[in-house]
């Protein structure tokens, strides 16, 4: 991971197996990635092997705080539970269920999750 290289957010993808029962929300995964890159950049991008456990502990602490904030706000960090359906299995749903999904009622919870991720990351690092 290169902390000086910008993330290609337009091409940001999550590859999930069709057999994956639950997977983390893309916004939460992106937030964890931002935290990792920011902390690596704060350490100058080059970390000596003996310093790596301390840096990893710092990253894990901040990511755990992010996960706790999302769980407190929306109850979970799993995409399928946030949306109420599995977006990777959309085409396998009946036409009736697809039409219900297309109404977009799930978007409110999804947007709340994204807002929580942005707010959590910002609050953790606004002093830096």
Average pLDDT over residues 44-50: 83
> Which pLDDT does position 10 carry in this prediction?
43
Q: Does residue 2 lie in a domain region? A: no
CB 31 within 8 A of CB 121: yes
Location of structure tokens 């297309």? 102
Q: Does residue 77 lie in a domain region? A: yes
Q: Does residue 99 lie in a domain region? A: yes
> Which pLDDT does position 75 carry in this prediction?
95
Q: Name the residue range of residue 70's domain.
A: 22-125
pLDDT at 14 over 60: no
Q: Give pLDDT tens digits for 73-113.
A: 999 999 889 999 888 888 889 999 999 999 999 999 999 99
> Which pLDDT does position 18 carry in this prediction?
59
Domain count across the chain: 1
Q: Does residue 30 lie in a domain region? A: yes
Confidence of residue 16 (pLDDT cuts 50, 70, 90): low
Q: Does residue 121 lie in a domain region? A: yes
Q: Does residue 13 lie in a domain region? A: no
Buried b / exposed e over 97-118, threshold 16 CB at 10 Å, is eeeebeeeeeeebbeebbebbe
CB 62 within 8 A of CB 124: yes
Q: Does residue 39 lie in a domain region? A: yes
Name the DSSP letter for residue 87: G
């Amino acid at each position: 991971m290169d902390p000086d290289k910008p993330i290609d957010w337009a091409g940001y993808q999550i590859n999930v197996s069709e057999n994956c029962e639950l997977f983390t929300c893309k916004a939460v995964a992106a937030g964890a990635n931002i935290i990792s890159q920011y902390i690596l950049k704060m350490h100058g991008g080059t970390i000596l092997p003996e310093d790596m456990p301390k840096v990893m502990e710092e990253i894990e602490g901040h990511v755990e705080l992010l996960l706790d904030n999302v769980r407190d706000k929306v109850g979970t960090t799993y995409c399928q539970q946030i949306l109420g359906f599995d977006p990777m299995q959309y085409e396998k749903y009946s036409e009736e269920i697809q039409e219900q999904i297309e109404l977009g009622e799930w978007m409110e919870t999804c947007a709340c999750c994204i807002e929580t991720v942005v707010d959590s990351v910002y609050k953790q690092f606004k002093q830096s």
